[in-house]
Each structure stands twice: as structure tokens, then as C-alpha cells.
Amino acid sequence: MKTKIYITAIFILITYFYYCNSTKPNLVSVKKAKAEIMPKSGTNVFGSVTFTQIADNSIKIVVSVVGLKPGKHGFHIHEKGDCSSNDGESALGHWNPDKLEHSVHDKENSHAGDLGNITANHEGSVFQEIIIKNVSLSDTKGPVGKALIIHADEDNLKTQPDGNSGKRIACGIIRSN
Ligand SMILES: [Cu+2]
Ligand SMILES: [Zn+2]
């Protein structure tokens, strides 16, 4: 009888540890990351985007980009850190680990990579801060290693799967630093 209880207890412990390991994100220590933005689709868009972990589950993104048409441009994290193709399609679709729908950033209900729009001034420059929650730079399955894409048009935050934001006019791989 005692042996049976003992075996049951070990079984429960193993199940518990297995469950913890499979649900907890795999963490490394990354506090900052950066993407160098390079032009795509024949544009002249350049810049940089920095990522800073400002709380356990909150990231500040600072966008500094030039060479855009004035107005709003869809801005997303795409699933593959590959900017090699001239049209930016090598970065694949929006980063969407939870198989949710395209909308405004809110990891409970949207693609994790939905950062909304950036707005270029009359000179075509963007200096903008975006705060996103429920994402960690330390998570090995987080945004580091993925690609940032700037689109030609405004993201309407509704149309599936990409907000109808048009061509990919710039791309940058998010690297830890
Ligand atoms: Cu996009
Ligand atoms: Zn999306």
C-alpha cells in the first residue's frame, strides 16, 4: 500500500514538472533589442527601431524611420527573421503564435505581431513610441529573431489576415543587443 502511494506521488511530481516546463516560456536574459530598417519594394525607407524591456511583461518600442510617404503605415512583427527577398515576403505572415485574428495589439485577442500603424510627418519621417504588453524580449519564442515590416498603406486593423496594408516597403530583423 505504501509503495503504491509512493509511486503515485512520484508520478504526480513528474507530470507536474513536465507541465511546468511545457507551459513556461524558455527564458534568456535579454533587456534590449534593435532592428535596422532597410528598404524593400524599390523604396528609400531607412531607420532603426529599438526595443527595451521596461517591465516583466512590457516592451517599449521606439521607431525612428525616414523616407516614407506622409501618413499612416501598417507596422508589424512578421514570423520569420528573413528580409532577403526584394518584396519582403520572405518574412512570411504576421507573428501569430496563438493562432488569433488580425487586429490591434493585445496578445489575448490579436496576432502578437500586430503593432498597428506608424504615422509619418509631412517630411516622411517617423519618431514614435509604442508600448506593448504580454511580450518579453527574454522569451526564446518572443520577438527577438523575427522581422519588422513597414507597409505602403494604412493597416485598417480589421481585414484578415493583414489589415489590407499593402506592399512591404521596409524590413528589419530584430536582434538582441
Ligand atoms: Cu506586416
Ligand atoms: Zn496581424
Q: Which ligand is nearest to the CA of 78?
A: 1
Nearest to 65 by CA among 135, 176, 151: 151
Mean pLDDT over 117-140 rounds to 94
Contact predicate 42/167, CB 8 Å = no
pTM of the model: 0.84
Ligand 2 centroid–CA 67 distance in Å is 24
Ligand 1 centroid–CA 80 distance in Å is 11
Distance CA(105)–CA(24), nearest Å, equals 22
Other CB atoms closer than 10 Å to residue 70's CB: what's the count?
12
Sorted by where each begins, the domain ranges of the chain are 32-176
Q: Which ligand is nearest to the CA of 160?
A: 2
Q: Which ligand is nearest to the CA of 162?
A: 2
Q: pLDDT of 79-91, one tens digit each?
A: 999 999 999 999 9
Ligand 1 centroid–CA 162 distance in Å is 6
Q: Which ligand is nearest to the CA of 111?
A: 2
Instruction: Kindly give, in sequence order, each residue whose CB lies less than 8 Å from that of residue 29, ignoring residues fewer than 6 positions away.
Output: 138
Nearest to 135 by CA among 64, 61, 35: 61
Place of cell 532577403: 84
| DSSP code string of 22-44 | HHS--B----EEEEEEEE-TT--
DSSP 3-state percent helix, strand, coil across the chain (nearest 5): 15, 40, 45
Ligand 2 centroid–CA 75 distance in Å is 9
Ligand 1 centroid–CA 77 distance in Å is 7
Q: Which CATH number fits domain 32-176: 1.10.357.10, 3.40.50.300, 2.60.40.200, 3.40.190.290?
A: 2.60.40.200
Q: pLDDT of 37-85, one tens digit each?
A: 999 999 999 999 999 999 988 999 999 999 999 999 999 999 999 999 9
Distance CA(176)–CA(59), nearest Å, equals 13
Q: Which residues surround ligand 1, an ion (CB under 5 A)?
A: 76, 149
